[in-house]
A = this chain, B = another copy of it.
Amino acid sequence: MYRVGIDLGGTNIKVGIVDDLNQILIQDSVPTKAERPYQEVLKDMAELVIALTEKMNIKPNELLGIGIGSPGTIDAKNGVVVYSNNFGWENVPVTKELGKYFTCPIRISNDANCATLGEVRAGAARETRNVILLTLGTGVGGGIVIDGNIFEGAHAGGAELGHTSLILGGELCTCGRKGCVESYTSATALIRDARRAAKNHPESKMNMLCKGDIANMDGRIPFEAAQNGDAIAGEVINNYISYLGEAIINFVNIFRPDVVLLSGGICNQGDKLTVPLSKYIEKGCFAGDKAYVPEVRCATLGYHAGIIGAANLV
């Protein structure tokens, strides 16, 4: 039997067909062009699904269902994208509209939730059932899996781990509040802090790695400079680890998961990120060593996590 997993992104719609072992058998993508009426976006999505199932000779009765991961605030119960800033969508009945093309069940969830479920079913958290994932990108997405299933809140708009306070009144967050986890732990926040430090310290190697223009700063540069002994970059990284560590401690104190996962480009740092983080949270979690402190790991499936997770919604 087969499942379809769809990663509905701002740029592309990625579709994969997944088997019972959570292997992606075939995949392809089409541009989202989200500025169009949503019916057209979802028609393209349906056509790609149909094309792939035909290519694989999958009969309708062999298709268990279709799952979609979407950015934004999702009403999973009713299959609606309540609000998505990326697409400019409000109250788009995705599963109903897509249901015009298929007879199988169709479900939708937030993309970070799907990525978390994908990593639990087939990736970095394969042997576990209780996981928190933070996607460290432009923003910070949150995914929660409890007892093997996505937890997205009782109503739409839950699991927004990036939009909980770290330092209330601090850096402005994209959500309008000041001092959210996102505003200190996103890749954007790391780059902002690295730029500030480089500007204030012309002697920092980060300036050289930026070729003299801090507009060229990326999330890799402060790690590289720190690795090469640059004290200023070292401080930026230490601060970043602290912010992220404290955010993780918050979520451990609430969920006490089996494992904490991180994803996003920053995860290319691997052990340089997860080893100090695991050490950091060991000291800070409530009840210290008297309670279970989870390991911090990097996600391993990349964007496949979203497809596999979405496929596992059904």
Chain A residues near B (Cβ < 8 Å): 73, 82-83, 90, 129-130, 142, 144, 146-147, 151-161, 163-169, 175-177, 179, 246-247, 249-250, 252-258, 284-287, 290-292, 294
Q: Which single member of B82, B130, B152, B165 contacts A290 (CB below 8 Å)? A: B82
Known: A142-B254, A167-B169, A176-B284. 18 other contacts (CB 8 A): A73-B287, A83-B287, A83-B291, A130-B153, A152-B256, A155-B257, A155-B258, A155-B291, A156-B256, A157-B291, A159-B254, A160-B286, A163-B253, A164-B250, A165-B167, A166-B168, A167-B167, A175-B286
Q: Is the CB of B168 within 8 A of A246?
A: yes
With both beta carbons as reference points, the residue of chain B lying nearest to A179 in the complex is identified as: B167
Instruction: Give the oligomeric copy count.
Output: 2
In whole angstroms, how far apart are the Cα atoms of A194 and B179 in the complex? 25
In whole angstroms, how far apart are the Cα atoms of A250 and B292 in the complex? 23
In whole angstroms, how far apart are the Cα atoms of A270 and B252 in the complex? 32
Q: Is the CB of B292 within 8 A of A256?
A: no
What chain B residues lie within 8 Å of A83 (beta carbons)? Answer: 287, 290-291
Q: Is the CB of B146 within 8 A of A151?
A: yes
- Whether A284 contacts B246 in the complex (CB less than 8 A), given A157-B253, A254-B159, A291-B73, comes out as no
What chain B residues lie within 8 Å of A247 (beta carbons)? Answer: 165
Question: What's the least CB distance linking A143 to chain B, in Å?
Answer: 12
Question: What's the least CB distance linking A180 to chain B, in Å?
Answer: 9
In whole angstroms, how far apart are the Cα atoms of A169 and B247 in the complex? 13
- Whether A287 contacts B157 in the complex (CB less than 8 A), given A164-B164, A167-B168, comes out as yes
In whole angstroms, how far apart are the Cα atoms of A39 and B101 in the complex? 66
What chain B residues lie within 8 Å of A257 (beta carbons)? Answer: 153-155
What chain B residues lie within 8 Å of A146 (beta carbons)? Answer: 146, 151, 154
Q: Is the CB of A292 within 8 A of B156?
A: yes
Question: What's the least CB distance linking A110 to chain B, in Å?
Answer: 12
What chain B residues lie within 8 Å of A168 (beta carbons)? Answer: 166-167, 246
- Whether A164 contacts B255 in the complex (CB less than 8 A), given A157-B286, A290-B90, A292-B155, comes out as no
In whole angstroms, how far apart are the Cα atoms of A38 and B160 in the complex? 42
Q: Is the CB of B250 within 8 A of A165?
A: yes
Which of A83, A176, A246, A287 gathers most chain B CB within 10 Å? A287
- Whether A160 contacts B253 in the complex (CB less than 8 A), given A82-B287, A83-B291, A166-B168, comes out as yes
In whole angstroms, how far apart are the Cα atoms of A164 and B180 in the complex? 12
What chain B residues lie within 8 Å of A294 (beta carbons)? Answer: 155
In whole angstroms, how far apart are the Cα atoms of A250 and B164 in the complex? 5
In whole angstroms, how far apart are the Cα atoms of A130 and B151 in the complex? 12
With both beta carbons as reference points, the residue of chain B lying nearest to A131 in the complex is identified as: B154
Q: Is the CB of A156 within 8 A of B291?
A: yes
What chain B residues lie within 8 Å of A147 (beta carbons)? Answer: 154
